[in-house]
Amino acid sequence: MENMILQLIYLIGSITFIMGLKMLSHPDTARKGNLLAAGGMTLAILGTIFLYRDGNGEGLHNYAWIFAALIIGTVVGTAVSKKVQMTAMPEMVSLFNGMGGACAMLISIIEYRHIMANIATHTPGTGTMIVVVLGMLIGTVSFAGSIIAWGKLNGSIKDRTIAGGQAINFILFAGMIALVIMVASGKFTDMPALFYGILVLSALYGILFVMPIGGADMPVVISLLNSFTGVAAAFGGFLYDNPVMLTGGILVGSAGTILTILMCKAMNRSLKNVLIGSFGGAKAGGGEAGSKEQGNYKEISLNDTAVLMAYAQKVMIIPGYGLAVAQAQHTCHELEKVLNEKGVEVLYGIHPVAGRMPGHMNVLLAEADVPYEKLLEMEEANDQMGGTNVVLILGANDVVNPAAKEDPASPIFGMPILEVEKAEHVIVNKRSMKPGYAGIENELFFRPKSSMLFGDAKKVLQSLVTELKQM
């Protein structure tokens, strides 16, 4: 009876995951979808704790340890999540994703120790060993890679390109596969050195795999590592014959993979090119694109900017990481409302890889209650750019760089961009003329239609609101 109830709970949990993922596709339902999936997970956890029975009819033990861990994890996770700023959300996602990989890694280690303790009386099946070793391999790569991504995003770890790095990674990968085959075959299962060799090689591979990848490619890497964690969790579901764990892992793995492919498509690059080419690691001044003479840029005053926007019919705002750094999303929404009162239509052009993680700008603006219908995807924004009077770029850089379309020598050549030059006026808000996260000069700043409005995004927007209200 208890087993039937538990299976029903797992079914309910699996359904909530699927429904929650569907609801996450739209900001109006995303919060409810997240809560629904979290409720299903909570139900599955409690059902497992109180209703699970093994083949001998015994349930779980050590309730004190289990609930102590649950309470500590809940308190710490809640406190950290409430405290984190939107600018730090990408590294938070990387850190949480890394913890998921670490869990998969620890599950495999524990199960291997259990197998070794009983190997004299019970020989594990090949399928079981494949799940154990692959779960550890993928979980360890995800954990190590996510921690490096977390460090790179918060600035504590710099890009590092190791001489012969691709060859080293290939050797490590080949070594991991060889050890996986040896351990999973059953002939070398009782040799812990080989098993833990997979752990060491996987950790090294995860570190070296992410280390040289630059900032402009980090959204893709985060998405890819997220899919790795999902696959590792699915292996755990296979191992424990747990349908809700399997369903969750498959959903995360497949969603992360699809998102990775879509983001690569948005950058007009293959996943292989992202992982090997890593244009995000390019430095300004390197190569023909970086050394080209750009000419002079022109500045625009706050008053002139306010006049242009007040008498425009349509204004399009292009948000970027600079907006997130300044925490200016609420002020940006206030500017939108002031312009709307003056009869100006305001829209937002969103590039798929703007910011530091997938959907970063969407989440940022949703937090400020910007209506979702005003957020235009890149293709739709480009279609409307020709009828736009003023484009205001807030901290975006690489996603509006015309070199992506015009300069074959540029590291970002071929990446689809927001074609802001189709508008009548282009105003670029930046704190300085420093290159963007891809480390390359932006030719847009020196074009005839472009004007630079220097300053912190939040302060500039506050001043613009004040100017507009006085008109």
Q: Which domain range does residue 35 map to?
A: 1-83
What is the secondary structure of 225-286 as a DSSP string? HHHHHHHHHHHHHHHHT-HHHHHHHHHHHHHHHHHHHHHHHHTT--HHHHHHH-GGG--TT-
Tell which of 55, 83, 111 closes a domain: 83
Read off the pLDDT of residues 385-435 as tens digits, 9 standing for 90 and up: 999 999 999 988 888 989 888 888 877 777 888 999 999 999 999 887 776
Query: Residue 428 — φ and ψ, nearest 5°?
Result: -110, 115
Residues annotated as part of the active site: 398
Give rounded-to-5 percent helix, strand, coil for the chain: 65, 5, 30
The confidence score (pLDDT) of residue 261 equals: 86
- How many whole angstroms separate alpha carbon 392 and alpha carbon 374? 15
Q: How confident is the model at residue 436 (pLDDT cuts 50, 70, 90)?
A: low
Distance CA 437, CA 98 (A): 23
256 and 392 part of one domain: no
Q: Are residues 316 and 336 in the same domain?
A: yes
Other beta carbons within 10 angstroms of residue 113's beta carbon come to 11
Domain co-membership, 299 together with 396: yes
Give the H or E element holding residue 363.
Answer: helix 360-367
One domain for residues 242 and 309: no
pLDDT tier at 229, thresholds 50, 70, 90: very high
- pLDDT score for 343: 95
Work out the widest C-alpha separation in the chain, in whole angstroms.
86
Mean of pLDDT over the chain: 86
pLDDT band for 197, please (50, 70, 90 cuts).
very high
Q: Compare 262 and 102 and report the one with higher pLDDT.
A: 102
Q: How far is CA 318 from CA 172, 224, 308, 394, 428, in A?
A: 42, 26, 16, 6, 9
Same domain, 174 and 300: no
Same domain, yes or no: 394 and 443: yes
Task: Give the domain-ending residue among 35, 53, 83.
Answer: 83
- The rounded distance, in Å, linking the Cα atoms of 190 and 70 is 34
- Domain stop point among 238, 264, 281: 281
The number of C-alpha atoms within 13 Å of 330 and in the hemisphere containing its C-beta is: 3
| Of residues 416 and 143, more confidently modeled | 143
Residues 255 and 392 in one domain: no
Provide the CATH number for the domain around residue 381: 3.40.50.1220
pLDDT value at 282 more than 70 = no
Three-class DSSP category at 451: strand
Q: List Cα–Cα distances, 28 to 21, 24, 320, 362, in angstroms.
A: 13, 9, 22, 12
Query: How does residue 273 score in pLDDT terms, banded at 50, 70 and 90?
Result: low
Lowest mean pLDDT among 132-141, 341-350, 365-374: 365-374
Same domain assignment for residues 146 and 270: yes
Tell me: do 177 and 238 sit in the same domain: yes
Same domain, 265 and 202: yes
Average pLDDT for residues 111-132, to the nearest whole number? 88
Same structural domain, 228 and 335 = no
Number of domains in the chain: 3
Question: Which residues have CB under 8 Å from 78's CB, separation 6+?
Answer: none
Among 34, 312, 339, 91, smallest CA distance to 215 is for 91
Q: Tell me: do 352 and 410 sit in the same domain.
A: yes
Give pTM, 2 decimals.
0.79
pLDDT of residue 70: 94
Alpha-carbon span 338 to 466, nearest angstrom: 10
